[in-house]
Homo-oligomer: A and B are copies of this chain.
Amino acid sequence: MPKPKSKYFPKLREQLFVIVFGTDTRAGKLFDIVLLWAIVLSVLAVMLESVREIKEEYASVLFLMEWSFTILFTVEYILRLMIVSRPKDYAFSFLGVIDFLAFIPTYMTLFVAGGSYLVVIRSIRLLRVFRILKLGRYLREASVLTDALRSSRHKILIFMGAVTTLVMIMGTLMYLIEGEGGGFTSIPRSIYWAIVTVTTVGYGDIAPQTVLGQTVASLLMLMGYAIIAVPTGIVTSEIAQAEKNKKMEESDGRVCIACGVKGHDDDAIYCKNCSAKL
């Protein structure tokens, strides 16, 4: 992020920028840690509020926490808007919207009364959990994982397409075989069962009762058992590749003394760039 151009209070603004966006100074680190705890605690508070017993007993504590966090997040949001050089870009970025949605629902509860609307509005506060993504910059290790997932994107999609086709066919088949018995009341519901089975989740709320149905279900399970090997194979192969690439980047191979070009193979005798003997 480019440093903001000084317009008003240039000195103060720059100092705030270092604290709010930076992670190098002590104040910057402290700001990050306080904010992280505020996010985690505010999310926990909203979640605990959904438990009836807790809500009834600790109503006032939860109310106090909610408004404290809301004011804290509001201040932080305004601060960020003031500091950055392009406030609009921040406000409409993914994290900017999340920051906004983290405090606005609490204010909305003042104007909206009652019922199901309130539940939805309150639930939006849970989107605060996305703010944890801000910590992503600390995670160097994550790059290997995201690289591996990104380059296996296409293969995973194809795999998912194959699984979707499989569960559609098997779900329909089971609907025809089992009929109303055992909970296979419609094709979409049978497909839901097929997904529950092929992913080896197996709730047991829908389960085949006929011998033929159990035979087909057994086949589906064994297929799911073998199929799960495919995404694992894809990701493993990609992670191994990503790690190799990372290592390659870190250690650049042999250097030619004559021309300084790096990256010669281990068995090279002459420099590939200037033909000097290595």
A residues touching B (Cβ–Cβ < 8 Å)? 43, 46-48, 50-52, 119-120, 123, 126, 129-130, 132, 139, 141-142, 144-145, 148-149, 154-156, 158-161, 163, 165, 168-169, 172, 175-176, 185-189, 191-192, 195-205, 207, 211, 214-215, 217-218, 221-222, 224-226, 228-241, 243, 263-275, 277
Contacts and interface: CB of A to CB of B under 8 A. Distances in A.
Contacts of A237: 233, 236, 239-240, 243
A233 B234 CA distance: 8
A50 B186 contact: yes
Nearest to A205: B207
A141 B202 CA distance: 31
Provide the main secondary structure of the chain A interface: helix
B156 A226 contact: yes
Contacts of A265: 263, 265, 272
B270 A275 contact: yes
A145 to B, nearest CB: 6
A114 to B, nearest CB: 16
